[in-house]
Amino acid sequence: MIATATIAQEISERLGSALTPQKTLDHIPTFWVEKNRVFELLRFLKEEIDRPYKMLYDLSAIDERMRQHRDGQPASDFTVVYHLLSLERNEYVRIKAALSEDHLSLPTITRLWPTANWYEREVWDMFGIAFDGHPHLKRILMPNSWVGHPLRKEHPARATEMGPYQLPPDKELAEQDALRFRPEEWGLSRERDGSDFIFLNLGPQHPGTHGVLRIALQLDGEEIVDAIPQIGFHHRGAEKMGERQSWHTYIPYTDRVDYLGGVMNNLAYLTAVEKLAGITVPPRAQVIRVMLAELFRIISHLVWYGTFAQDVGQMSPVFFTFNDRERAFSIIEAITGARMHPSWFRIGGVAADLPKGWDRMMRDFIKYLPPRLVEYDQTVMRNFIFKARTKGIGSFTVDEAIDWGVTGPNLRACGLEWDFRKRQPYSGYESFEFDIPTAQNGDCYDRAVVRIEEMRQSLRILEQCVSNMPEGPYKSDHPLATPPVKDRTMHDIETLITHFLSVTWGPVMPVGEVLGAIEATKGNNGYYLVSDGSTVSYRTRIRTPSFAHVQTLPLLSQGLMIPDLVVILGSLDFVLADIDR
């Protein structure tokens, strides 16, 4: 609250009193601003204010037309929400701009933050809100031929509401034509000094893209003149599903966002939900969560390690690291019963207590992995061809990284020691001892160095979890914890009814807005939830690290060659579902 007052004062001193503050459950200073002053305010926050908000953390929108509880908020049909992050203050600020249904447009902020480009395109795609002056306001997640804007409330969420899908020949041709890459649309010229460029379509099916990512390359020989990543092939409407699924049944959807991160995704979502519900998670559940999340960080990094080496052309490491990953999965399996997507965290805790013998398995793994990592250092990181391929390739500076919304290991590789586990501890991370590995040059090699050291640090955290696992309940006894603790349901009718409702309809979360963000495997993963006091979320916004990271591709790859592009893709460590959601 104090933060809100200070920042409000700082802004009003400069811009007069054009701001309407809003109280939110996560205590992030939130202000409404008139749409014609958005640009001015954001520029002030980014460039002029003392200890500026340098990172555009997220940009999204809310369709407010069906919302019941908007106490004290300015009238709005569609609200565009900007989340900014100040690294110096270690604070977010949330700026909202109200739009009426017949004037759905805002000035673009791509001139302030290059990363706003994709975010604004997504808002256009999902809500039909136009951004004046945007360099390329086209659909980004949905196909060009799509009709309607999916995250609007009137847009159906289910295929059964849309009539059967048909693909007559003429529509097939039109769809195929819509996929054609036309350089002119992107402002690319077809020739330079009389010689033609090659336009190479890399993906969406290509062994080097790690999934259905398409990159249109403008090539001069093998040199990349420009690269245009095109995403959306993995879009599954995770945000729209959030508006259909109950708070509880949405958990499995989160697992599949960063599909290598498993329960790490649950943690991001639940951090937000528990803030909304006001649940304090008991210490044992917290430590269990940290333990599994860190194990998944190792798992994700192992996949990255092997596939990255493969991108550089090394054949064997992927088999070794997948082998190690398999061992980690056997622990996950023993504890949760599932492997890649356990969906094992619950609102208020975890699904069950740890099984007998979990600590032995964990200890074995903690002993097993470090010597393997040393071996991989010898075969991969110290190989001279590997160094020649990765050092000095695809680097950005700290300022560029912040400008582009880069977080996680990719940011730390530029030399900035910024880890949300340390800066904004959640789930009890403040009581663990670990270091934040950083590197200096922000190139492909340094990104690798950071991730490998992170695995060692995660092992340290695992060790602390094993030796200091607290006793106590594995789930909170808060009434909104889902499913509720069952021991009392068999004794009195009131708890039985609550239990029944909570399991059949799902819990009803208090009205409010929260942002819950964590240091996920690939960077900052945040869930911005709007509750309208119902069993489902009114708006679920998923801020993923990969989305921001892949957008930097043209910046990183211009002037390099195709093999470098593949190395850069590998070093960024993205997951397609984490980009497209």
Partner 1 sequence: MTSPYPILSILGIVVVAMSIAAFLIWVERRLLALWQDRYGPNRVGPFGLLQVLADTIKIFMKEDWVPPFVDKPVFILAPAIVFVTVLMSFAVLPVAPGIIVSDLNIGLLFFLAMSSLGVYSVVLAGWSSNNKYALLGGLRAAAQMLSYEVFMGISLMGVVILAGSFSLPSIVDGQRRMWFVIPQFLGFVLFLIAGLAETRRIPFDLPEAESELVAGYHSEYSGMKFGMFFVGEYMGVTLISSMIAVLFFGGWLGPGLPGVVWFLIKTFFFISFFVLVRAALPRPRFDQLMSWGWKVMLPLALANLLVTGAVVLVWR
**Residue 267 contacts by C-beta under 8 Å, 6 or more apart in sequence?**
289, 293, 345, 426, 427, 518
| Binding flag, residue 463, partner 1 (CB under 8 A) | no
Instruction: Check if the beta carbon of residue 241 is closer than 8 Å to that of residue 156.
Output: no
Q: Is 179 in the site for partner 1 (CB under 8 A)?
A: no
Minimum Å gap between C-beta 364 and partner 1 is: 17
Residue list 551-570, contact with partner 1 (CB under 8 A): 561-564, 566
In whole angstroms, how close is the CB of 339 to partner 1 at the nearest point? 19
At 164, the amino acid letter reads: P
Cβ-contact 340, 262 below 8 angstroms: yes
Residue 560: CB atoms within 10 A of its CB come to 17
Nearest alpha-carbon partner for 410 in 304, 505, 273, 549: 549
> Is residue 424 near partner 1 by the rule CB under 8 A?
no
**Contacts to partner 1 from residues 21-60, by CB under 8 A:** none
Q: Distance between CA 143 and CA 313 in Å, rounded?
A: 33
Sort 353 into a burial class: Cβ within 10 Å, 0-12 / 13-18 / 19+.
middle
Q: Is 200 in the site for partner 1 (CB under 8 A)?
A: yes
Q: Would you count residue 337 as binding partner 1 (CB under 8 A)?
A: no
Give yes or no for residue 314 binding partner 1 (CB under 8 A): yes
Beta-carbon count within 10 A of 186 CB: 15
Q: Are 104 and 129 in contact (CB under 8 A)?
A: yes
Which range binds partner 1 by CB under 8 A, 225-233, 308-316, 487-495, 540-548?
Answer: 308-316
Q: Which of 109, 141, 231, 309 binds partner 1 (CB under 8 A)?
A: 309
- Tell whether residue 222 is a contact of partner 1 (CB under 8 A): yes
Q: Which of 207, 371, 471, 487 binds partner 1 (CB under 8 A)?
A: 207
In SS3 terms, 3-42 reads as HHHHHHHHHHHHHCCCCEEECCCCCCCEEEECHHHHHHHH
- The answer to whether 537 and 47 are in contact (CB under 8 A) is no
**Site string (343-382) toward partner 1, x via CB under 8 A:** ------------------------------------xx--
313 binds partner 1 (CB under 8 A): yes
What is the distance between the terminal CA atoms of the chain, rounded to a whole angstrom?
33
Residue placing its CB nearer to partner 1 in the complex, 282 or 317 = 317
Please pick, from the candidates 230, 383, 424, 534, the single residue that binds partner 1 as defined by CB under 8 A: 383
Total residues contacting partner 1 by CB under 8 A comes to 30
C-beta closer to partner 1: residue 203 or 342: 203
Residue 267's Cβ-count burial label (10 Å; 0-12, 13-18, 19+) is buried
CB 379, min distance to partner 1, A? 7
Closest CB to partner 1 among residues 309, 413: 309
Residue ranges in 84-143 that form contacts with partner 1 under rule CB under 8 A:
none
In the complex, least distance from residue 216 CB atom to partner 1, rounded to whole angstroms: 12
**Sole binder of partner 1 in the list 22, 73, 271, 310 (CB under 8 A):** 310
Alpha helix positions (H), 468-552: 493-504, 545-551
| Residue 508 engages partner 1 in binding (rule: CB under 8 A) | no
Q: Does 445 bind partner 1 (CB under 8 A)?
A: no
State how far the Cα of 570 lies from the Cα of 389, in Å rounded to an integer: 12
Q: Cβ closer to partner 1: 41 or 309? A: 309
Q: Where are the beta strands (DSSP E) in 186-270?
A: 191-192, 195-196, 198-202, 214-220, 223-230
- Contact pattern from residue 384 through residue 403 relative to partner 1, giving x for each residue in contact according to CB under 8 A and a dash for the rest: -xx-xx--------------
| Identity at 435, one-letter amino acid code | D
**Helices vs. strands in the chain: H and E counts, helices first:** 20, 17
Whether the CB-CB separation of 542 and 250 falls below 8 Å is answered with: no
Residue type for position 376? Y
Comparison of 173 and 388: residue with beta carbon closer to partner 1: 388
**Binding of residue 320 to partner 1 (CB under 8 A):** yes
Judged by CB under 8 A, the residue of 36, 316, 397, 431 near partner 1 is: 316
Applying CB under 8 A, the span of 95-103, 296-304, 305-313, 440-448 interacting with partner 1 comes to: 305-313
| H/E segment holding residue 537 | strand 537-543
> Nearer to partner 1 by C-beta: 518 or 566?
566
For every residue of 505-559, DSSP letters joined together read: T---PPSEEEEEEEE-SSSEEEEEEEE-SSSBEEEEEEE-HHHHHHHTHHHHHTT
Give the 3-state secondary structure of residue 138. coil
Least Å from the CB of residue 296 to partner 1? 23
Interface region with partner 1, contact rule CB under 8 A, candidates 199-207, 259-267, 280-288, 348-356? 199-207
Beta carbon nearer to partner 1, 379 or 534? 379
- Interface residues with partner 1 (CB under 8 A)? 198, 200-201, 206-208, 222, 309-316, 319-320, 323, 379-380, 383, 385-386, 388-389, 561-564, 566
